[in-house]
Amino acid sequence: MQKIGIIGFGRIGTALAVSLSRCGYLVQVVRRNQKLTKTSPVQGKEFMITSLEKIALQAEVLFITTPDDVIQSVVEKLQKNPISCKAVLHLSGSLSSEILLPLKDKGILTGSLHPLQSFPNVEQAVSNFPGSFFTYEGNPKLLPWIAELVSSLGGILKILPSTEMKVIYHAGAVFVSNYMVGLASLGSECLKKAGFSDEEAREALLPLMKGTLNNLMAMSPEKALTGPISRGDAGVIDSHLQIFRQYLPEALPAYCAMAEVLAKISVQSGKITNAQEEEIYKLIKGGGCNE
């Protein structure tokens, strides 16, 4: 199946269109607020802008790449119109393929394919596809074609065991990707309180973050963990709590929440004792974290 229709031309939809067209797939797109006779140039590629009604008849496979809260309305529109494509997939990270079930009555194979990656813009999204995991959940009959497509994008295919696992999988991705950005922001605020400019804080922290990622690439999280909690250094932790209360109280809840997580990892990996873990918990509970 080489004729691909993409419904939604935002960052992920555009990046998918560019990447698939480079792999030899024939791609058409549906985009809001575009004249249907126009083409859209992106990174040296021209994409025919068409209507939902036409693309449902011309494409062999449809990808819904709209925001999650729009997918249901797209499915309802596809239900009401003639459709000759063989398969419909969406790229939502948290929604399962069950949202596409109404299309099964039309004899269409359905599934959910999600690239486990972050896409701040189209250019970065295109470059991030190779080497990324793509999780699939849906009709097993699509697996051979999905495997071929993911391979052509330079990705690694992982099949989720059930629809129920989609949400917890997505939550794990949010922890690592989105929350890391939040932690970087809090770290920058700490450095700025210490006299760094915005740019200096960014330049100082990025090598540290890259170094930590390098450690995680070489070893497990338990072995990669460093810092005062992994040493059971209660005095340093207490000084952090005191300085947060004085200068950056908004960072205190995040620090305390992560301190509990890191203390648990540290005791499980044998870096600190149960007694040291308990001392850390007492500091956290008495440090204003629950106020």
Cβ contacts of residue 148 below 8 Å, gap of 6+?
none
SS3 240: helix
- Strands 26-30 and 39-42 come out as unpaired
* pLDDT of the chain, 291 residues: tens digit per residue: 889 999 998 888 999 999 999 999 999 998 765 544 455 556 556 677 888 899 999 999 999 999 999 999 999 999 988 999 999 999 999 999 999 999 988 899 999 999 998 888 888 888 989 999 999 999 999 999 999 999 999 999 999 988 889 999 999 999 999 999 999 999 999 999 999 999 999 999 999 999 999 999 999 999 999 999 999 999 999 999 999 999 999 999 999 999 999 999 999 999 999 999 999 999 988 765 655
- Strands 133-138 and 3-7 come out as unpaired
**Cβ proximity of 259 and 214 under 8 Å:** no
Give strand pairing partners of 26: 3
Phi, psi at residue 164, to the nearest 5°?
-65, -25
C-alpha–C-alpha distance, residues 35 and 50, integer Å:
8
Phi, psi at residue 163, to the nearest 5°?
-65, -30
Tokens standing for residue 202 = 């960014």
**Residue 20 identity:** L
* Residue 119: predicted pLDDT: 83
C-alpha–C-alpha distance, residues 17 and 6, integer Å:
7
Q: Strand (E) positions, the chain?
A: 3-7, 26-30, 39-42, 45-49, 61-64, 87-90, 109-115, 133-138, 156-159
* Residue 46: predicted pLDDT: 67
* Residue 37: predicted pLDDT: 44
C-alpha–C-alpha distance, residues 263 and 157, integer Å:
34
Tokens standing for residue 77 = 């529109």
SS3 37: coil
* Residue 24: predicted pLDDT: 92
C-alpha–C-alpha distance, residues 81 and 190, integer Å:
56
SS3 30: strand
Give strand pairing partners of 45: 42
* Residue 40: predicted pLDDT: 53
* Residue 36: predicted pLDDT: 43
Residue among 133, 116, 74, 80 at smallest CA distance from 99: 74
Between the CA atoms of 196, 197, 203 and 205, what dihedral angle is there, to the nearest 10 degrees? 50
The pTM of this model reads 0.82
* Domains along the sequence of the chain with CATH: 3-160 (3.40.50.720), 222-291 (no CATH)
* Residue 9: predicted pLDDT: 85
* Residue 42: predicted pLDDT: 60
